[in-house]
A and B are shown apart, each in its own frame.
Chain A
Amino acid sequence: MSTATPDAPAGLRTRRIRPLEQGTLLILGSAAALSVLITIGIVFTLVEEGWGFWSKASPVDFLTGRDWFPVSDEFGVLPLLSGSVMIALLAGIFAVPVGLGSAIYLSEYASPRARGLIKPVLELLAGMPTIVLGFFALDTINPVLQRLGLVDKNQIYSYLAAGLVVGLLIVPFIASLSEDALRAVPRSMREGAYGLGATRRVVATKIIVPAALSGIMASIVLALSRAVGETMAVTLAAGTQPNLTWNPFDQGQTITSVIVAVSKGEASRGTTIYQSIFAIGLVLFVVTLVINIIAVQIVRRFRTVYN
């Protein structure tokens, strides 16, 4: 290290502790650390509370079992997992086209006026209490499905009704996040494409959507992870019996709705059935984690660089 003027001290050797700076760092750092600590705490609880479960049910039976009958000590997670996956798939089948369509409309077609009308409504939908959506499924959608002959007349629950409202719930996620991704594509890209004589449809589908693909895929995956974890609407509308089926017109339970049912029931602490909900909670956590990791990978893999 050399000094520029050796004959005069720079007068900068005044480094000291600035309490306000230190304090700010501490507060902000704690805020950031909190969510990490809580996540670790939750995982710990899931593992710890569920620990006793593994001595009563073998992990292999748990992961491969096709029946969930706690009263007869049958703890197969597959019907619950299939229920959760089924809800997410049905929700996705409904929400991906609707959400992505809305996003493309809002970003490429809508006038500022139309956008100003639609955006708040979408946000309202995002803020809708899920129990309201659950009742909507139970009260309106399932009866319609019954009338259409899709769902049995005596069956007041169905995967399809629940899946549709969960889809409704995640439409705003997909629409809003995808729209952000589409709008982030520089205007120069649009002008370049229009300048070649491309129509709006071609510009949107061949240039803008591919350029925004990473954000769009990520929005879909994150929305699906939200759908897997959705609880209230599903508890109300999907069914009351675990059911290993891929028939969307049937009824069934998901991981989340079983957790609700058990924890609202009379299972007392320490019983196998009580411990089982931590085990399936762990499964849900792992599923969501995997989905989120996939989302991050997608963003990384498909990220497009424009200057």
Chain B
Amino acid sequence: MSDERTAVTTDEDEALAVTDQEPRQSDPRVGDGPGISVAGPAQGSRDGAQQETVVFEASGVNVHYGTNLALKGVDIPIYRREITALIGPSGCGKSTFLRCLNRTNDLIPGAAVSGDLTFHGEDMYAPDIDAVDLRRRVGMVFQKPNPFPKSIRENLAFGMKVNGLKANDDAIERVLRRAALWDEVKDKLGDDAYALSGGQQQRLCIARAIAVEPEVILMDEPCSALDPISTLAIEDLMRELREQYTIVIVTHNMQQAARVSDRTAFFTVEQPGDGSRYGILAEHDHTEKMFRAPEDQRTQDYITGRFG
């Protein structure tokens, strides 16, 4: 449904870039992050051609848990090197959809995905797709920081070794610098990861995801367990990472979606009245458009705080 709109993105997007820039620069919080650029999402090195590349394409994606329909008929493209935010009320299936994108749902007994979901044009759920290889290219950061009960170094080295990468000191340093964590941990790489603060743990988890050199990073409410300062640090980091990675983030925090994302998808709950209850994708568009002039009444109601 948004195909026509995305076809003319280039112009619209430049316009958006300008409008997007203003509030950001007057926002005093943004500069506080540890040495991160203050680039807003719509700035930076985006050239029209690159941004048009579709990484994931969902059409008619349904997810069942056992016999329960959890998510119905999702159609959405996810673009390369953009931040796509998935927002919506609890139970709307946004996390469920996110978990389809690297087949983390496979790990839940009874979960079944139907419809078409492609990654670079290839059917992700085809029988000959190797979920292990897929997850190497589509990394994930979870709601609660979940470092392994190992040292900081081992947390990073684990994924690198699994993927046949060298986990030497240089590589560890590079990854930690990338995740804006190096200065805080450089003297204690051998310490247990659980000795870090929650925000540091989450950045370690992001570093761990980056360490295996994925193309896409999925983030499932990565800041929900963090304090506001850690949250800003992670958001700054996301803007940095956007230069190189495609990011899909689930968030309950609409301000966060507005702050960091290029595009926003609004999921909501449908209750047809027969006792069933499932999530649908109501609308998706450029973030600016979604927050300024959504087309769907439900989006309007949600973002203005009338429900959810």
The minimal Cβ–Cβ distance linking A109 to chain B, given in whole angstroms, is: 12
Q: Do the beta carbons of A188 and B146 come within 8 Å of each other?
A: yes
- Which residue of the partner chain A has the closest CB to B212? A196
Q: How many residues of B contact A (CB 8 A)?
A: 28
- Which residue of the partner chain A has the closest CB to B99? A191
Q: Do the beta carbons of A197 and B162 come within 8 Å of each other?
A: yes
Q: Do the beta carbons of B194 and A307 come within 8 Å of each other?
A: yes
Q: Do the beta carbons of A112 and B109 come within 8 Å of each other?
A: yes
Q: Do the beta carbons of B104 and A197 come within 8 Å of each other?
A: no
- Could you pull out 12 A-B pairs where Cβ atoms are within 8 angstroms? A189-B146, A191-B107, A191-B142, A192-B147, A192-B208, A195-B102, A195-B139, A196-B158, A197-B133, A206-B158, A207-B158, A306-B146
Q: A198 to B135, alpha carbons, bound, how many Å?
A: 8
Q: Do the beta carbons of B132 and A197 come within 8 Å of each other?
A: yes
Q: Which of A205-257 contact B (CB under 8 A)?
A: 206-207, 210-211
- Which residue of the partner chain A has the closest CB to B135? A197
Q: A199 to B158, alpha carbons, bound, how many Å?
A: 12
In the assembled complex, which residues on chain A have CB atoms less than 8 Å from the CB atom of B147? Answer: 192
The minimal Cβ–Cβ distance linking B160 to chain A, given in whole angstroms, is: 9
Q: Do the beta carbons of A197 and B142 come within 8 Å of each other?
A: no
Q: Do the beta carbons of A193 and B104 come within 8 Å of each other?
A: no
Q: A285 to B83, alpha carbons, bound, how many Å?
A: 65
Identify which of A194, A196, A210 contacts B209 (C-beta below 8 A).
Answer: A196
Residue from B135, B137, B144 whose CB has the most chain A CB atoms within 10 Å? B135
In the assembled complex, which residues on chain A have CB atoms less than 8 Å from the CB atom of B109? Answer: 111-112
Interface of A is mostly: helix
Known: A191-B140, A194-B135, A196-B159. 15 other contacts (CB 8 A): A111-B109, A189-B149, A191-B107, A191-B142, A192-B148, A192-B208, A193-B148, A196-B135, A196-B136, A198-B158, A198-B162, A211-B148, A305-B149, A306-B194, A307-B144
B233 interfacial contact with A, CB 8 Å: no
What sequence of 0s and 1s flags, for each residue 36-62 of chain B, a beta carbon within 8 Å of any chain A beta carbon? 000000000000000000000000000
Q: How many residues of A contact B (CB 8 A)?
A: 25
Closest 8 CB pairs of A and B: A197-B136, A196-B159, A195-B140, A188-B146, A304-B149, A192-B146, A197-B135, A198-B162
Q: A208 to B187, alpha carbons, bound, how many Å?
A: 27
In the assembled complex, which residues on chain A have CB atoms less than 8 Å from the CB atom of B255? Answer: none
The minimal Cβ–Cβ distance linking A9 to chain B, given in whole angstroms, is: 44
In the assembled complex, which residues on chain B have CB atoms less than 8 Å from the CB atom of A286? Answer: none
In the assembled complex, which residues on chain B have CB atoms less than 8 Å from the CB atom of A307? Answer: 144-145, 194
Q: A306 to B109, alpha carbons, bound, how many Å?
A: 24
A190 interfacial contact with B, CB 8 Å: yes
- Which residue of the partner chain A has the closest CB to B208? A196
| Chain B residues packing against A (C-beta within 8 Å) | 102, 104, 107, 109, 132-133, 135-137, 139-140, 142, 144-150, 158-159, 162-163, 194, 205, 208-209, 212
In the assembled complex, which residues on chain A have CB atoms less than 8 Å from the CB atom of B135? Answer: 194-197
In the assembled complex, which residues on chain B have CB atoms less than 8 Å from the CB atom of A195? Answer: 102, 104, 135, 139-140, 142, 209
- Which residue of the partner chain B has the closest CB to A211? B149
Q: A291 to B149, alpha carbons, bound, how many Å?
A: 27
Known A193-B148, A210-B150, A306-B194; judge A198-B107 contact (CB<8 A): no
A65 interfacial contact with B, CB 8 Å: no
Q: A307 to B150, alpha carbons, bound, how many Å?
A: 13
A144 interfacial contact with B, CB 8 Å: no
A25 interfacial contact with B, CB 8 Å: no
What sequence of 0s and 1s flags, for each residue 267-307 of chain A, a beta carbon within 8 Å of any chain B beta carbon? 00000000000000000000000000000000000001111
Identify which of B104, B132, B142, B149 contacts A198 (C-beta below 8 A).
Answer: B132
In the assembled complex, which residues on chain B have CB atoms less than 8 Å from the CB atom of A199? Answer: 132, 162
In the assembled complex, which residues on chain A have CB atoms less than 8 Å from the CB atom of B205? Answer: 192
In the assembled complex, which residues on chain A have CB atoms less than 8 Å from the CB atom of B107? Answer: 187, 190-191, 194
Q: A111 to B145, alpha carbons, bound, how many Å?
A: 28
Q: Do the beta carbons of B104 and A194 come within 8 Å of each other?
A: yes
Q: A191 to B106, alpha carbons, bound, how many Å?
A: 10
